Chain A
């Protein structure tokens, strides 16, 4: 178990380093010199050169990458070139908004998608199953930003049930919760469909296994057979998918945060790319990558907790 954790953490570090290096290269391929953008159109070449030197942009790229990692070890992600505040402060200030958004979306999707999948599997090939199937696929194919825009128009503008923009007043939990509804719906909708299909498939597989026949041969009530004996196994692939799906959720959050003008990591990445605010881009991508690595590890651990066979092989 301990060995497993060490392996996972090492792997996680490698993934993060690769992602950051890759991003470094990509950023420098994008046209637009941050120093020039920061100083405005009337800046002199000397001023730009000295600004570039201050930001470390004149150094060769490998050196820049190494410097980034060296600073990272000290917990320093650099300074925001516009506000001159530490990047860590900015990123961690925005992180809770995104985490709450993603968490709400996935809980919402799981609470609807998993029971829906179970229902479909147990009523295979009935009308209800077919309708669920069609609706699920429709949900999966709807991109988050389209759902975000449509729900914004329908529920916020036309019906005015929910607020259109922002994340609510700080400290006012009820207000923040109301602001969370539409964005979480936008992200979660495709996941409802996805989870419903996934749970249906794995549930059908598990229900055909021999031990389910055994449980039935002991006259266990169907409710116990399905929800205690089958579901615990059928939910295993779902846990993995949610863990890996964290990456998709983060990118869905990006669009949704833009549409709803919500603060969050996604909005932060978008704004900082537009302004070529590279330290902030680097910082927020780094945190997102770490988040992704953590979530896959957590999903593996949850699987190990649910399935003793995985536990012993760890």
Chain B
């Protein structure tokens, strides 16, 4: 068995649209080592959600995967049939989704939802409930036994996200995918949830693929960071390397735009000018050239190669290759 729980190799995902194939992910490579936390960062529309959907194989109906491998616990997920895939979901891998207010079924009790997902276990109802109570206690829900009979809307947003985490970790999966789990929460709750995830990860020993556009959260939580832009991975490395020595101009600009890192007072927040390129008809050369401040002649028609900038730090930019 390899040391990686999840290995994504050369994965592309396209969506069929009226104007042609929208290339949402292109040749993505990603490893999640056992027991580690890998962060994926990028702005909206960069393909983060498509990446998750393709890993759990719940892509929209118009999506197709022209090439790639998604290896999870030494099996290529793209070769599995629906039944085998369903057997992994919520069992060996589970997901905490973005908006806690809408991810739980509003008309079923928490207890019901938490016991329903234990359908694989050959245990009594009381036993499943005991497990649910135990998990709720672990994520810090007070008086969990009496709250099993309550409905999602009777909990606050932070509580709902804790419940989602309890549900996701109930089966003790090998991989937890967290899709912007803190985006809908305020800053105080965000910190609490991050600490909770980190604690649980150490206790349960699972790996986490953590998706966010919040740089602070990624820096706090992740061992390894992957920066995505417009469906491609542009930079990856240890959190320390990426945040302290960003090698790609996009990462650099992202860091400049992080409100937490801005020292000088100003009326307007910094932004990255320009827009994500058209993903149906991709421009030649570097994908970031239209927004890059260091653009060179080569960027216009030569796609930058994936190069090692230092040790475990990789980037695709012409600037590092000169």
Question: Which residues in A have some Cβ–Cβ distance to B below 8 Å?
Answer: 209-211, 213-221, 224, 228-229, 232-233, 306-309, 312
User: Do residues B95 and A308 form an inter-chain contact, with CB atoms below 8 A?
Assistant: no
Bound Cα distance A221, B85 (Å): 12
Question: Which residues in B have some Cβ–Cβ distance to A below 8 Å?
Answer: 56, 58, 86-91, 94-95, 97, 99, 102-108, 116-117, 119-120, 151, 153-154, 164, 167
Neighbouring B residues of A312 by C-beta, 8 Å: 153-154
* Residue among B89, B105, B151 with most chain A CB within 10 A: B105
User: Do residues A211 and B58 form an inter-chain contact, with CB atoms below 8 A?
Assistant: no
Task: Please name the residue on chain B nearest to A233 by beta carbon.
Answer: B107
Neighbouring A residues of B116 by C-beta, 8 Å: 220, 224, 228
User: Do residues A229 and B89 form an inter-chain contact, with CB atoms below 8 A?
Assistant: no
A-B contact pairs, 25 of them (CB 8 A): A210-B103, A211-B103, A217-B56, A217-B58, A217-B94, A217-B95, A218-B89, A218-B117, A218-B167, A219-B86, A219-B87, A219-B90, A219-B91, A219-B120, A220-B119, A224-B116, A228-B108, A228-B116, A233-B106, A306-B107, A307-B107, A308-B153, A308-B154, A309-B107, A312-B153
User: Do residues B119 and A210 form an inter-chain contact, with CB atoms below 8 A?
Assistant: no
A210-B97, A210-B99 known; A215+B107 contact, CB < 8 A:
no
Pairs of residues from A and B, 7 with the lowest C-beta to C-beta distance, nearest first:
A218-B90, A219-B89, A210-B102, A308-B151, A218-B117, A219-B90, A219-B86
Neighbouring B residues of A228 by C-beta, 8 Å: 108, 116
Q: How far is the CB of A129 from chain B (nearest CB, A)?
A: 14
* Residue among B86, B89, B106, B107 with most chain A CB within 10 A: B107
Q: How far is the CB of A50 from chain B (nearest CB, A)?
A: 64
Bound Cα distance A219, B173 (Å): 13
Neighbouring B residues of A309 by C-beta, 8 Å: 106-107, 151, 153
Bound Cα distance A232, B153 (Å): 16
Bound Cα distance A308, B103 (Å): 16
User: Do residues A211 and B102 form an inter-chain contact, with CB atoms below 8 A?
Assistant: yes
User: Do residues A308 and B58 form an inter-chain contact, with CB atoms below 8 A?
Assistant: no
User: Do residues A214 and B103 form an inter-chain contact, with CB atoms below 8 A?
Assistant: yes
Bound Cα distance A307, B117 (Å): 21
Bound Cα distance A156, B97 (Å): 59
Neighbouring A residues of B94 by C-beta, 8 Å: 217-218
Neighbouring A residues of B119 by C-beta, 8 Å: 220-221, 224
Task: Please name the residue on chain B nearest to A215 by beta carbon.
Answer: B105
Task: Please name the residue on chain B nearest to A308 by beta carbon.
Answer: B151
User: Do residues B88 and A219 form an inter-chain contact, with CB atoms below 8 A?
Assistant: yes
Bound Cα distance A211, B103 (Å): 4
